[in-house]
A = this chain, B = another copy of it.
Amino acid sequence: MRAVCVIGLGLIGGSVLRAAARSGRQAWGATTSETDASAAVADGFTVASTEDALAKAVAEDALVVVAVPLPAVPDVLRVVGAVAPSCLLTDVVSVKEPVVDAVARFAPGVRYAGGHPMSGRSESGWAGGDAELFDGAPWVVASEDDTPLDAWLAAASLALDCGAHVVPASAGEHDAAVARISHLPHILAAVLASTGADGGPLALSLAAGSFTDGTRVAGTRPELVLAMCEGNRTALLDAVDDALGRLGAARGALASTGGLAATVRGGHDARGALVALREARVRGCDELRIGVTGEEAMDELRALGAGGGRVIRLEGDVAVACLPDD
């Protein structure tokens, strides 16, 4: 099993280090946070400086995992470019196109396949992490036409060893999807909470399940939400424009005919599609085998992800995938 070098030992990086070790891999890390470093060492993990950790990655032909917040990515990639210029590289940053750009600029010689595990919790730092954090969760592995096959296999293999399922998508597809299902929900929750609170204590004292559920993620720490949403600005603008168009259409229909059927029935069907996809996944799925070997591999993988499928294991360079039946 390939060794793993994790740069950044916060909630996600710390969980990757633990989960990689749990799978039997040799794993070590680096962090600029003294708190996270001492906590990881106290838990029995090896923590070095970024330079030393990367030098060891070169010596061991390890997979390097960048697990720092987006604003810190360029600095880390500069060191990668200097110390480990042709390493196998992935990352776990929640937005993908800006990382692709940064890799091209600061570490153009690495063999890179980006990643994004769709797991989170409200805690942060090493102390909030957990080897089980990714069990059963989707983990996007970026699949571009020019993604090196060895980098893709290395990133996918780590995700699977961490207990996740691999969802292949291009960086752009990933950013567009998470704008809609992860970032927009935070914006709408904030809008709903503010509009409700403007009704004063009377409105809040009458609030029941629909308002409570609809505003829950507005309770997330603002710094986390801002980092996530502002980092995905272009794709989020598209999603917000789409939502504005739909809300404006609802407004127009309510004002003119008084009817909200298109809005409400459309939303009901869409929620039904979410529930149906999850139920199909529970019922089982059709197994597909995709060789990660030739020019068509990334195309096939992206088609799998676009159809709601996931890679559930690797057999050598064959990705065994699960596509929910209709």
Query: Which residues of A come within 8 Å of B, CB atoms?
Result: 118-120, 137-138, 140, 167, 169, 173, 176-178, 180-182, 184-222, 225-226, 229-230, 233, 236-237, 239-244, 246-248, 250-251, 254-255, 258-261, 263-275, 277, 305-310
Contacts and interface: CB of A to CB of B under 8 A. Distances in A.
B195 A274 contact: no
B250 A187 contact: yes
What 5 A-B pairs come out closest when comparing CB atoms? A190-B267, A201-B308, A197-B270, A193-B270, A185-B210
A238 to B, nearest CB: 10
Which of A119, A203, A275 has the most C-beta atoms of chain B within 10 angstroms of its own C-beta?
A203
Nearest to A225: B264
A123 to B, nearest CB: 14
Contact of A205 (B138, B233, B272): B138
Contacts of A196: 180-181, 184, 270, 274
7 contacts: A167-B206, A197-B269, A200-B306, A205-B308, A218-B267, A219-B271, A233-B254
Which of A205, A220, A236 has the most C-beta atoms of chain B within 10 angstroms of its own C-beta?
A205
Contact of A267 (B176, B193, B265, B273): B193
Contacts of A182: 206-208, 210-211
